[in-house]
Chains A and B, each alone.
Chain A
Amino acid sequence: DAKTTQPPSMDCAEGRAANLPCNHSTISGNEYVYWYRQIHSQGPQYIIHGLKNNETNEMASLIITEDRKSSTLILPHATLRDTAVYYCIVRPRNMYSGGGADGLTFGKGTHLIIQP
């Protein structure tokens, strides 16, 4: 799986858009970009994923650059409940966990703190 780089922490004012960057310069053609978040003391939560087109759902928008080497997760109107660690991962769109020691792996992620 391609390696990702995220800033360790970010602040954002409540009500403003939170823009979380992720670099994945070694991404392969068959790898998707996935975003998860983990609120303190809870399990990870799937947010959104994309291949090369911009994607939007009820939680967030995902902007992927044309060369696919970086992406930005956008929370349009951040609330205090959005304070969490956000993980960007790139993986092929496996239908199964894969052979051997596999499964999802997260890096350090970005600790997003929403300020009141």
Chain B
Amino acid sequence: KAGVTQTPRYLIKTRGQQVTLSCSPISGHRSVSWYQQTPGQGLQFLFEYFSETQRNKGNFPGRFSGRQFSNSRSEMNVSTLELGDSALYLCASRRSGSSYNEQFFGPGTRLTVL
């Protein structure tokens, strides 16, 4: 069974631009979560989607948004990029009925903002 896939793997943008990242969960997984990981702040929760509905949201500004499609694929968007948005963005999915703590992570998208 294929794992969680994320595209693109690497991205370079400039301040003020916007970016859209894509995530395809493991087949059959309906819950998708997004995380930001930086050396200074570690792993930080962005949001969780389940059946096309945002179930929970972390403490990030409104520039960070996401959505989930009927096939469980998810996208996240960051508008008006700032230098501090440079990070590894991780998508994770889990099986229905399993604990939220048992996540399957993708390889991440490395975003660099210049």
Seen from chain A, the residues whose Cβ lies within 8 Å of a Cβ on chain B are: 32, 34, 41-46, 49, 89, 91, 93-107
Contacts and interface: CB of A to CB of B under 8 A. Distances in A.
Given A103-B33, A103-B56, 15 more contacts: A41-B107, A43-B106, A45-B105, A46-B102, A49-B99, A94-B99, A96-B55, A101-B57, A102-B56, A103-B46, A103-B48, A104-B35, A105-B44, A105-B45, A107-B42
B99 A104 contact: no
B100 A106 contact: no
B101 interface: yes
A106 B56 contact: no
A106 B92 CA distance: 15
A46 B45 contact: no
A97 B100 contact: yes
Interface residues of B, number: 27
B42 A91 contact: no
A99 B103 CA distance: 18
A57 B108 CA distance: 26
23 contacts: A32-B101, A34-B101, A44-B103, A46-B104, A46-B105, A94-B101, A95-B99, A95-B100, A96-B48, A96-B56, A97-B45, A97-B100, A101-B45, A101-B57, A101-B58, A102-B56, A102-B58, A103-B35, A103-B45, A103-B48, A104-B35, A104-B45, A104-B103
Contacts of A34: 101-102
B90 A43 contact: yes
B4 interface: yes
B24 to A, nearest CB: 13
B59 interface: yes
B37 to A, nearest CB: 9
A25 to B, nearest CB: 20
